[in-house]
Amino acid sequence: MEILIQQLFNGLTIGSVYSLVALGLTLVYGILHIPNFAHGALYMMGGYITLTMMTKYGFHYWIAIIVSILVVGLLGVLMERFVFHPLRDAPPIHDKIAAIGILLFLEAFAQFVWGAEYQSMPTPYGQVVEIFGLTFTMQRLLIVIAAIVVMILLTLFLKKTFTGSTIIAMSQNREGANLVGINTKKVAMLTFMISGGLAAIAASLSAPINLVFPGMGHLVILKAFVIIILGGMGSVPGAILGGYILGFSESLGATYISNDYKDIIAFVLLVIILSVKPTGLFSKGGH
Amino acid sequence: MSKIQRIVILGLILFAIVFPLISNNDYFIHVMTLSFIWMIGVYGLNLLAGYTGYLSLAHAGFFAIGAYSLGLLTVKAEMNFWPALLLSLIITGVLGFFAGLISLRTKEHFFAIYTLCVGYIIYLVIDKWDSLTEGVRGLIGIPAPANIGPLSFETLQSHYYLVLFFLLLVVLIMYRIVHSLSGRTYIAIRNSEDLAQTIGISTMKNKLTVFVISTVIAGLSGALYASFVRFIGPDIGSIAIVFDFLTYLLVGGLGTLSGPIVGTLLIVVLSQRLQFLQDYRMLVFGPVLTLLIIFYPRGIVGTAAAWGQKRRSSVHKTRLNNLPEEQVKEG
């Protein structure tokens, strides 16, 4: 029983990270209608920048995260401006290949600057707390809480503010948004900024319990793709829900099925979903 | 095919044949053989991504399946090379058939993501299934191709010719496919699947055929790789390999017949020049890939062909414009 609860909590932690990454991916998909393969590289850059800020410049954890959000967000904006914007009328296969090019570059860049070694990130929240006889590390609790706060803020931003609703308007209908006077270029850049920021938050939060290395984005991005297919491409609540579903099924699968094959669970899930419904679970048809 | 093209192709084949005789440097022959092997794999990807418009990111997986089938059959089952090669192609084809059957129900992004995941599953299975594939330790001691009568493939030169033979065979098959009705059908599917369906093309059947052919060719490339390098690890199934294929294909020209050769040769030669960069070569090739797709999406061959066509049509036009005057003069 205790193992079960412990694993459920682990699932909640992993799921929070997955949800944050998937949220960024789904927002960009809503705007551009392309899967951004470079999103995993943004995640990786987020981890490295936070790490550098902390170890090299001695910033506090939270300040380092804010710097990382800004830098990675800017990286996202640059990507949209210089790569995806010129490609907006090209066949979809071109966007995908361009994104792969960015991914390859950023990974080689990280390896060049920071080296290929696995690095661990120090955290001021390493203490162990005991609640109801179960032991948690503070960092894991922090991941869960911070992720939920970020998700609430993002939802409020999208639903309650004017700028937020322009993003939703644009994902619903690009031409329509343009017609009613929304500056679609600006909104696209803003979306990339948010998406990069979310990736940076997710990486910075999860890095202390995992490790930082150039390939750290690979598995996460693949799983984020599975999540947005699970939750419907472009759907915000779908990404959150899908993230937690995957987090739970992985942590339970690791304990009760096989630890070696736990990474396959996500992909098997995807294979099953797409075999039954080729356009994803909650897709609205058309398009 | 024009006369000039014929001569150029014959010249290139001749050059490829005499290359090991002029170059006494074993290293160059080794590099050339490897790039021929990559070319075969790139042709496989080209048929699917270039001609049919389905970007498959699972091809490294099928490359690895071909390599591992051959490796396991020759090392663990101790089979003769040739039946093992045939069997590994069949294995790749059958697995490709089932992967295609499901993945081709999806389209565009879903297809790319789906195949990315399929590729990753293949990689993980190879990596984790220790008892069969030796996992991260890799498979060592894969034998060279067995002799056919008096022909032996123990030396580097003979191996070079063997790979060259397979490359030419693949190019010939591609040429025949692309210039046949099926080839046109595939291009029709690429240009508009709905339209193709409307004029009575069974898109699923055609797509599945392409997928299987393309995976078998990737498997062939993998099997040749295994017997050439003699050692394989799970890394050959990693996503990095499929990204390499894509770079070669894109630099050469997506959906062109000579693109895979041009792109692979260029990048491999450049990589040799940039060897001091080693792991960082993607620092150069990543942006190249991105810039190329923005400014020259048709690659070297495609851009050159478009340029030639433009020049020819402008020559044609000036000739037309001049025609009346000449006739006037003559008259």
CATH number of the domain that B242 lies in? 1.10.3470
Residue A196's pLDDT is what?
A: 92
B39 assigned to some structural domain? yes
pLDDT in tens, B242-290: 888 888 888 888 888 888 888 888 888 887 777 666 667 777 778 888 8
Residue B107's pLDDT is what?
A: 77
Q: Judge whether residue A285 has pLDDT over 50.
A: no
Please report how the helices A262-276 and A217-231 are oriented relative to each other, as an axis angle in degrees rounded to 10. Answer: 30
Which stretches within chain B are classed as H helix?
A: 3-22, 26-45, 59-75, 81-103, 108-128, 130-133, 156-178, 181-191, 193-198, 203-229, 239-252, 259-273, 282-295, 299-330
In chain B, the N- to C-terminal Cα span, in Å, equals 36
Q: In this predicted complex, what is the ipTM? A: 0.78
Both B196 and B313 in one domain: the answer is no
Q: Whole-angstrom Cα distance, residue A207 to residue A196?
A: 16
Under 8 Å between Cβ of A96 and A35: yes
Please report how the helices A2-32 and A162-172 are oriented relative to each other, as an axis angle in degrees rounded to 10. Answer: 70
**Residue whose C-alpha is closest to residue A223's, from A21, A45, A60:** A21
| Interface with A, mutate which of B56, B117, B203, B244 (most A CBs under 10 A) | B117
The verdict on A108 touching B (C-beta cutoff 8 Å) is: yes
Both B309 and B193 in one domain: the answer is no
Identity of the highest mean pLDDT range in B126-140, B169-183, B230-244: B169-183
B223 assigned to some structural domain? yes
pLDDT in tens, B84-118: 889 999 999 999 999 888 888 877 778 888 888 88
Both B221 and B320 in one domain: the answer is no
B21 assigned to some structural domain? no
Q: How far is CA B16 from the centre of its chain?
A: 18
Residue A5's pLDDT is what?
A: 81
Q: How far is CA B48 from the centre of its chain?
A: 10
Q: How many CA atoms lie within 13 A of A169 on its CB side?
A: 18
B182 assigned to some structural domain? yes
Both B230 and B128 in one domain: the answer is yes
Residue B279's pLDDT is what?
A: 66
Contact (CB<8Å) B106/A222: no
Contact (CB<8Å) A222/B120: yes
* Residue type (1 letter), B193: E
Beta-strand pair B231-232/B139-140: antiparallel
Q: Judge whether residue B2 has pLDDT over 50.
A: yes
B330 pLDDT band, cuts 50/70/90, is very low
Q: Whole-angstrom Cα distance, residue B289 to residue B58?
A: 19
Q: Judge whether residue B326 has pLDDT over 60.
A: no
With pLDDT > 70 as the criterion, what percentage of chain A qualifies? Answer: 96
Residue A285: strand pairing partners:
none
Mean pLDDT of chain B: 83
Q: Judge whether residue B140 has pLDDT over 60.
A: yes
Task: Give the number of domains in chain B.
Answer: 2
Both B186 and B313 in one domain: the answer is no
Mean pLDDT of A140-154: 88
Write the CB contacts of B111 (distance below 8 Å, at least 6 apart in sequence): B54, B55, B56, B103, B104
B61 assigned to some structural domain? yes
Q: How far is CA B128 from the centre of its chain?
A: 28
Residue given tokens 């070669």 in the structure block: B248
Contact (CB<8Å) A271/B293: no
Contact (CB<8Å) A107/B124: no
Residue A282's pLDDT is what?
A: 65
Q: Judge whether residue B323 has pLDDT over 70.
A: no
Both B72 and B97 in one domain: the answer is yes
B86 assigned to some structural domain? yes
Q: Tell me the residue range of the domain where B321 lies.
A: 304-331
Residue B212's pLDDT is what?
A: 93
Which of A47-51, A74-78, A275-279, B252-256 has the weakest average pLDDT? Answer: A275-279
Residue B94's pLDDT is what?
A: 94
pLDDT in tens, A192-205: 999 999 999 999 88
pLDDT in tens, B26-74: 888 888 888 899 999 999 999 988 888 888 888 899 999 999 998 888 8
Q: Whole-angstrom Cα distance, residue A201 to residue B319?
A: 65
Residue B137's pLDDT is what?
A: 77
Q: Hey, how many other C-beta atoms are within 10 angstroms of the C-beta on B90? A: 13
Both B168 and B207 in one domain: the answer is yes
Which of A76-90, A207-221, B133-147 has the weakest average pLDDT? Answer: B133-147
Q: Whole-angstrom Cα distance, residue B246 to residue A286?
A: 30
The verdict on A124 touching B (C-beta cutoff 8 Å) is: no
Residue B331's pLDDT is what?
A: 38
- B79's torsion region: left (phi>0), alpha (psi -120 to 50) or beta? beta
Mean pLDDT of B15-35: 82
List C-alpha distances in Å: B94 to A238, B62, B67, B75, B256.
35, 11, 15, 22, 27
Contact (CB<8Å) A264/B125: yes
Sign of CA dihedral B57, B60, B64, B67: positive
Residue A283's pLDDT is what?
A: 59
Helix (H) or strand (E) holding A129: strand A128-131
Residue B232: strand pairing partners:
B139
A287 pLDDT band, cuts 50/70/90, is very low
Sign of CA dihedral B188, B193, B198, B200: positive
Both B44 and B177 in one domain: the answer is yes
Which stretches within chain A are classed as H helix?
A: 2-32, 39-55, 61-79, 92-114, 138-160, 162-172, 174-179, 184-206, 217-231, 236-256, 262-276
Name the 3-class secondary structure at A212: strand
Residue A69's pLDDT is what?
A: 92
B327 pLDDT band, cuts 50/70/90, is very low
Both B165 and B230 in one domain: the answer is yes
With pLDDT > 90 as the criterion, what percentage of chain A qualifies? Answer: 12
Q: Judge whether residue B151 has pLDDT over 50.
A: yes
Both B274 and B308 in one domain: the answer is no
Q: How far is CA A85 from the centre of its chain?
A: 22
Mean pLDDT of A176-193: 86
With vertex at residue B287, the alpha carbon angle to CA B285 and CA B289, rounded to the nearest 5 degrees, is 65
Residue B277's pLDDT is what?
A: 66
Both B323 and B273 in one domain: the answer is no
Q: Whole-angstrom Cα distance, residue A151 to residue A138?
A: 20
B204 assigned to some structural domain? yes
Residue B1's pLDDT is what?
A: 61
Sign of CA dihedral B44, B48, B50, B55: negative
Both B322 and B205 in one domain: the answer is no
B219 assigned to some structural domain? yes
Residue B89's pLDDT is what?
A: 92
Q: Whole-angstrom Cα distance, residue A29 to residue A34?
A: 5
Residue B91's pLDDT is what?
A: 92
The B-side interface with A (CB below 8 A) comprises: 49, 53, 55, 102-103, 105-110, 112-114, 116-118, 120-121, 124-125, 128, 239, 243, 246, 250, 254, 279-283, 285-291, 293-294, 297
